[in-house]
Amino acid sequence: MNICLVGINHRTAPVAIREKAAIRTAQLDDALQSLHPRLSHGVILSTCNRTEVYYTTDDDSDAKTVILGFLQNLLDVSDTVLRKHTYVLNGEASVEHLFRIASGLDSMVTGEYEVLGQVRQALEIAEKAKMVNLPLRHVFQSAVRTGRRVRKETGISKNAFSTSSVAVDLAASIVTCLEGCKMLVVGTGEAGRLVAKAAKDRGVSHIAVASRSRERGLKLTKTLGGMLVSLSNLVAELHSCNIIVTCSNAPHFVLDVTKVDMAMRKRPELPLVIIDIAVPRNVEPAVGQINNVFLYNIDDLASISERNRYRRKSAVREAENIIAAEMNKFNSWWQDFKIRPLISAIMDKAEKIRLAQLNRTVKKMPSLSDRELYSLEMMTRAIITKILKDPIRFLKDNRDSDYDYTDIVKELFQLSKIKRDDE
């Protein structure tokens, strides 16, 4: 058995491609169900930086084809374009990749916290869909533990940045005085909350938040201040704001050319900076062509993120050491996991023989006392344990060996079927 992944991420595809493969949390179960008939065990991790499917398989080519087909369907691209933007990792490489993701090393914003919760949630959703087996559970749980260790034991998330706070930094680098600006935040989920908080921390005096839900919007304005506006009345807001950060889960454009053009006619001299960190994007790309509108998307945060990564260089090194130590633990577990079914099969066969022989012998003997029966039981068990002790120790000692002893052991002990220990 092998652990593998097929995915697309911010290094292999721009947001315009990536957004088509973005699967919202509420849709993850449906996506897993669509894979289930052809893939027994899998976990989908979909964040603004990536969509990846982790799976276990005995025959990689089949599962890989199923998942590539699934991604191709979402992306609606040719085989050549699909191959250009997707990657396939196998075995240790796929596990290490997930450990790096959970640690925030693979994020556009190094050390961000949000991804750790997303890794945990991906596992929970796949568990509910009954698509998680022991290896996948162990990989994801180990990744979460690694991510927690990295954040606790290194400074990688100290004064943590998030994509949202980097978006506010980008705005600050474009306008001359952030404090005097009016900022509109579209979306009041986790990203919207972080944008509003970062804006408040950097001294933005006028913050307006646009929400679908009045209740959720009020909750945010109550804690962080600012004004609540209705999503249906965005154009009126566009007349006066200087910066807009969009981060809603809307599957369609919240701001299109018509709306922004209409607003800009009323304020032709006043520049408008729009930073769209939503995936899929909330703002129609052609909005960037309107005079005096400066449109950025999540991929435009890369240069600021690179500076952030550079500043955290030594923490990244420490994180990599923790990942290496966790990989050693994982590899050791994996080697045990691989030989466990074989050892169980040997012991099961020996136990069946012992019981059959014991029962046959007991039936032929005059009635025995409980104490005598107990002694016989213990004696037969001790014989089995002593006979099997050396072969089992040999298998454990040689579990890392390049030579696979499975076939020879199966033949020696005449083990026809080995029940896998992965459910």
Ligand X SMILES: NC(=O)c1ccc[n+]([C@@H]2O[C@H](COP(=O)([O-])OP(=O)(O)OC[C@H]3O[C@@H](n4cnc5c(N)ncnc54)[C@H](OP(=O)(O)O)[C@@H]3O)[C@@H](O)[C@H]2O)c1
Which residues are catalytic, by number?
A: 48
Residue 125 neighbours by CB under 8 Å, 6+ apart: 25, 28, 29, 32, 44
**Among 38, 212, 381, 410, contact with ligand X (rule: CB under 6 A):** 212
Counting Cα atoms < 13 Å in the Cβ hemisphere of 179 gives 1
Residue 157 touches ligand X, criterion: CB under 6 A: no
**Residue 261 — φ and ψ, nearest 5°?**
-60, -45
Least Cβ distance, residue 211 to ligand X (angstroms): 6
The residue with its CB nearest to ligand X is 189
Least Cβ distance, residue 275 to ligand X (angstroms): 11
Beta pairing, strands 2-9 & 50-57: antiparallel
**Cα(219)–Cα(277) distance, rounded to whole angstroms?**
22
Residue 304 touches ligand X, criterion: CB under 6 A: no
**Among 189, 328, 382, 394, contact with ligand X (rule: CB under 6 A):** 189
Residue 247 touches ligand X, criterion: CB under 6 A: yes
Question: Buried (b) or exposed (e) across 136-174, using 16+ Cβ within 10 A?
Answer: bbbbbebbbebbebbbeebebbeebbbbbbbbbbbbbee
**Cα(17)–Cα(403) distance, rounded to whole angstroms?**
44
Q: How many chain residues are in contact with ligand X, going by CB under 6 A?
A: 23
Cβ distance to ligand X smaller for residue 219 or 381: 219
DSSP readout, 314-378?
A: HHHHHHHHHHHHHHHHHHHHHHHHHHHHHHHHHHHHHHHHHHHHHHHHHHHSSP--HHHHHHHHH
**Residues 245 and 167: beta-carbon distance below 8 Å:** yes
Let me know how many helices (H) and strands (E) the chain has, helices first.
16, 10
Residue 277 touches ligand X, criterion: CB under 6 A: yes
Least Cβ distance, residue 353 to ligand X (angstroms): 58
Residue 196 touches ligand X, criterion: CB under 6 A: no
**Residues 50 and 11: beta-carbon distance below 8 Å:** no
Cβ distance to ligand X smaller for residue 162 or 308: 162
Cβ distance to ligand X smaller for residue 216 or 267: 216
Cβ distance to ligand X smaller for residue 134 or 218: 218
Cβ distance to ligand X smaller for residue 100 or 138: 100
Beta pairing, strands 50-57 & 42-47: antiparallel
Least Cβ distance, residue 117 to ligand X (angstroms): 9
Residue 147 touches ligand X, criterion: CB under 6 A: no
**Cα(66)–Cα(214) distance, rounded to whole angstroms?**
42
Residue 163 touches ligand X, criterion: CB under 6 A: yes
Evaluate the omega torsion of the peptide bond into residue 341 and state whether it is cis, within 30 degrees of 0. no
Q: Which stretch binds ligand X (CB under 6 A): 1-9, 205-213, 391-399, 402-410?
A: 205-213
Least Cβ distance, residue 176 to ligand X (angstroms): 26
Q: Which stretch binds ligand X (CB under 6 A): 55-63, 123-131, 189-197, 388-396?
A: 189-197
Cβ distance to ligand X smaller for residue 53 or 210: 210
Q: Which stretch binds ligand X (CB under 6 A): 27-35, 147-155, 159-167, 170-178?
A: 159-167
Residue 278 touches ligand X, criterion: CB under 6 A: yes
Distances (CA, A) of 146 to 104, 109, 140, 407: 10, 18, 10, 35
Cβ distance to ligand X smaller for residue 114 or 237: 114
Residue 226 touches ligand X, criterion: CB under 6 A: no
Q: Which stretch binds ligand X (CB under 6 A): 207-215, 264-272, 321-329, 411-419?
A: 207-215
Q: How far is CA 137 from the centre of its chain?
A: 13
Beta pairing, strands 272-276 & 206-211: unpaired
Binding site for ligand X (CB under 6 A): 48, 114, 162-164, 187-192, 211-213, 216, 231, 247-250, 277-279
